[in-house]
Structure 1
Amino acid sequence: MESTKKKLKSAFVIHQKDNVAVALSYLNKGDKCIVRLGESERVITVLDDINFGHKLACTAIEENESVLKYGEEIGRMSTSVEKGRWIHNHNMYCERGLK
């Protein structure tokens, strides 16, 4: 298993409350990705091409549900997504700066 882990791409979760991880390299659709939070890790199958630094859904997130990064809401989903999907401005919105 250790040699398999070295071949997998990775992403990390910044805060334990987060439902997204940050891609540490370009992730291709179909990649197996190690998602780390502190000492814990799990493998998620990537369902979309995701650029370095962009967000990967760690769980299914429903329409209008909060997107959590840094332990804070950074926006809400404009559509439901499955675990492993790319999260960006094409499928989330933020009202924070509009109020």
Structure 2
Amino acid sequence: MTHDPRLLVLSENDNVGILTSTVKAGETIQVAGENVTLPDTLGLGHKLALRNIAKGEDILKYSFPIGFAGTDIPLGTHVHVHNLTSRYTTVEIME
């Protein structure tokens, strides 16, 4: 798969890539060989879908599930709290 050099893929199993720099609204970025125009400015560390991700499917970063898709997420879409449900759990501290 060909990705824009500003998109870091940590593992070949991942379905999200991480931006290594800011991409401004209206800019086109290549994701998995497809040209995707971003509707919003996204900064360093934000995630983009490397392929279509179905609702309920695990979001994989570094081959580790960090959450699941709350909605269908098309290729190249920003993956964040609006469409990702975290798998991290609240930890209660015992005193």
Q: Same fold (TM over 0.5)?
A: yes
Q: State the structure with more CA Rg.
A: 2
Which category describes the TM-score, using the shorter chain as reference length?
0.7 to 0.9
Q: Which runs of 5+ in 2 are unaligned?
A: none
Count of residue correspondences: 87
Structure 1 residue 14, shift from structure 2 partner: 0.4
**Residue 23 of structure 1: which of 4, 12, 19 is its match?**
19
Match of 2:71 among 63, 67, 79: 79
State the TM-score, normalized to the length of structure 1: 0.73
Does residue 45 of structure 1 match 2:36?
yes
The TM-score with structure 2 as length reference comes to: 0.75
Matched, 1:12 2:3: no
Determine the C-alpha separation between the residues in 2 that align with 1:61 and 1:46: 18
2:52 to 29, 37, 60: 60
Q: Secondary structure at the match of 2:73?
A: coil
CA RMSD of aligned residues (A): 2.3
Amino acid at match of 1:22: I
Q: Which has the higher helix share?
A: 1
Q: Percent identity?
A: 30
Q: CA deviation at 1:12?
A: 0.8
